[in-house]
Amino acid sequence: MSTTDTSGTTDTSGTTEQQESLGEAGAQLSTAPIDDRAETTVVGGPTLGVIGWIRWFWRQLTSMRVALILLFMLSLGAVPGSLVPQTSVDELKAQAFKDAHKTLTPLYEKLQFFDVYSSVWFSAIYILLFVSLIGCIVPRSWQFVGQLRSRPPGAPKRLDRLPAYTTWRTGAEPEQVRAAALTLLKGHRFRAHTAGNAIAAEKGYLREAGNLAFHVALIVMLVAFAWGQLFKSEGGKLVVEGDGFSNTLTQYDDFKSGSQFGIDELEPFSFRLDAFDGTYEKSGPQRGTPRTFEAKVSYTQGGTDKKAVIRVNEPLKVGDSKVYLIAHGYAPVVTVKDGRGKVVFHGAVPLLPIDNNITSTGAIKVMDGYRDKKGDKDQLGFSALFVPTFAGEGKGTMFSQFPGLDYPVLALTGYRGSLGVDSGLPQNVYQLDTSKMTQFKIEKGTGFAERLLPGETMTLPDGAGSITFEKGVKEWASFQISQQPGNGLALAGAIAAIAGLTGSLFIQRRRVWVRAVRGEDGVTVVEMAGLGRSESAKLPEELGDLAVALTADAPPAPDAVPEDVRDDVPPGAERQAVPDADPEDVPEPAEEPAEDPAPSGEADK
């Protein structure tokens, strides 16, 4: 049999008398499971059967040590999901990674590194952690409820063996001292009651409540994560100034959702991008850094028209949906005429940035309505490179020097032939497939491409038509529209976890006993002692403060303090405290001679 000291460690060196002296008083300061390994093993070897092994496995799984290991493994398993592009997040980026790393790709695919959060091994860790936390919390919760319903245990036989202890003699009656102690302890928010000739009190239940709240909050966060993955929806949409978006599946540029999400659950609303405002630092080391980055929109919900401004980290909230501003770029306005001078295309063409100064690339496709000078049907395609601030001729390659529209230039390379849109295969609208097209050779520019300023026109050879870079350059904004039903639950779990962890770290569970009995000489002897779940210098201090407060109703007897030191003792009790010591380590007090008992104060001294 073993006893547990105040630091939470197991000590088998105590004598039977010492163990019996603490008795129930030192038990159940924690809801930690009791170590019963002796029940499952014998000297001759293990005697576990099938049921025994199941019980052993369950105890290991529901132990706090295994829960912490699983939590660490879960965080470690999320590292590949942060470093390797995920197919569920950006399929194009994941494919580009695979194309660039031919050697690693087969290994990563076997390890499911491109779908970490839906992989078998990540799900296994997730489920085991979930089961471990539940199996750990449920029995501890029932045990904690039982402790709340029960009274603090009675005082041990030897209070002087507890970590904090003080005693004095008083002229007050024992009943009067106990009544005053009961009132005092209740006034300090202790749960107290009279147990025989002593007052038993306990305080700090919020420590264990905080511990349980922390682990319950972890379960809440895991549930929120799973709920969000099953019922989420997320899509992206690029909108040019003056254009709009309606929250239907066909309007999205890309869309993904959880397995339990239904399309009919999309929030019914629409919005229009009225204008995008972007300003940038023009000088200094922060040149080019965005200062204003906001999209002004008009949106409709339930037949009501409203206006709003969407900024980074300030989304538009419409019902259960949130509209985030995630990117910005330029859409040059171009006009294309065919060989007969008829306008076959006119509009803003959004181009995608490739650097922080918004050097942008894209494609212009003319699929229908085009005819050459002979009247024959054909298709045109233009590879476009746009810079909002051009450095000028002879000043390097054509890359933007600044993200603002200070000197816009559009470089175009023209092609004619089949765009491949009739093949039935999906195409990227920002890329041009020139495998079945012929490149135009023009007189200006490089012979194949030409740089245009706003208002300039590039004439195609052989009467194939022309393309004009109009003076108006529109801006576009990219939005992410998402429904995340588990976010609020996850936030509540995170707050509860922090609050619970704070309580479990800074609140100490402790017990205090006050015994008042009449001595052989008829003078009342008062003993006070405290026992905490863990070592703390505050326990002796708190006990001393309580003792000083109790001396108001139980003042020390005049003969309790020797005359030579009486002036040095502050008003109140003469205290004896052994802070942060194990009860077993407190030395036995010397036996007092029966014929000439020493005064209590001198013995304590």
Give per-residue pLDDT as tens, 386-401: 999 998 776 667 889 9
224 SS3 class: helix
Per the listing, tokens 């997730």 go with: 126
Residue among 218, 41, 230, 241 nearest 132 (CA): 218
What's the pLDDT at 374? Answer: 84
Is residue 561 over pLDDT 50?
A: no
437-492: per-residue pLDDT in tens? 999 987 776 777 899 999 999 999 888 999 999 998 999 999 999 998 888 899 99
E strand or H helix that includes residue 603: helix 600-604
pLDDT of residue 135: 86
Give the C-alpha separation, 120 to 112, whole Å: 8
- Interatomic CA distance for residues 128 and 67, integer angstroms: 9
What DSSP state is assigned to residue 407?
Answer: B
pLDDT above 90 as % of the chain: 47
Rounded to the nearest 10 degrees, the angle between the axes of helix 120-149 and helix 205-231 is 150
Q: What is the pLDDT of residue 570?
A: 41
Confidence at 226, pLDDT banded by 50, 70, 90: confident
Give the number of other CB atoms < 10 A from CB of residue 87.
18
Instruction: Give 26 or 59, the one with higher predicted confidence.
Output: 59
Residue with tokens 């682990």: 215
pLDDT band at 107 (very low <50, low <70, confident <90, very high): very high
Amino acid at 503: G
In angstroms, how far is CA 56 from the centroid of its own chain?
Answer: 32
Q: What is the pLDDT of residue 586?
A: 39
pLDDT at 398: 82
**Range 582-586 average pLDDT:** 41
H-type alpha helices, 291-442: none
Of 65-74, 235-244, 385-394, where does the model show the most confidence? 235-244
């004439």: which residue's tokens? Answer: 459
- pTM across the whole model: 0.65
Q: Going by C-beta distance under 8 Å and a sequence separation of 6 or more, which residues neighbour residue 268?
A: 247, 301, 302
More confident residue, 534 or 505: 505
Q: How far apart are CA 330 and CA 353, in angstroms?
A: 8
Alpha carbon distance 451, 410 (integer Å): 6
Whether 134 has a pLDDT exceeding 90, the answer reads no
Quote the mean pLDDT of the chain: 83
Q: What does the longest C-alpha to C-alpha distance in the chain come to?
A: 136
Q: Among 318-322, 349-353, 444-448, 558-562, whose mean pLDDT is lowest?
A: 558-562
Instruction: List Cβ neighbours of 539 (8 Å cut-off, separation of 6 or more).
Output: 163, 164, 508, 510, 530, 532, 579
* Res 556: pLDDT: 92
Residue 28 is predicted with a pLDDT of 56
Q: What's the token pair of residue 521? A: 């000489």
Tell me which range, 80-84, 142-146, 147-151, 571-575, is most confidently predicted by mean pLDDT: 80-84
CA distances from 84 to 81, 101, 117, 181, 578 (A): 6, 11, 12, 65, 57
Q: Is 422 helix (H, G, I), strand (E, B) or coil?
A: helix
**What sign has the CA pseudo-torsion 395, 397, 402, 407?**
positive
User: In the predicted model, what is the mean pLDDT of residues 274-279?
Assistant: 94
Answer yes or no: are the C-beta atoms of 318 and 298 closer than 8 Å: no
Sequence-distant (≥ 6) Cβ neighbours of residue 597 within 8 angstroms: 520, 521
What angle do the packed helices 487-506 and 205-231 form, to 10 degrees? 160
Residue 259 has pLDDT above 50, yes or no: yes
Q: Which residues contact 184 (CB under 8 A, 6 or more apart)?
A: 546, 549, 550, 553
CB of 556 within 8 A of CB of 564?
no
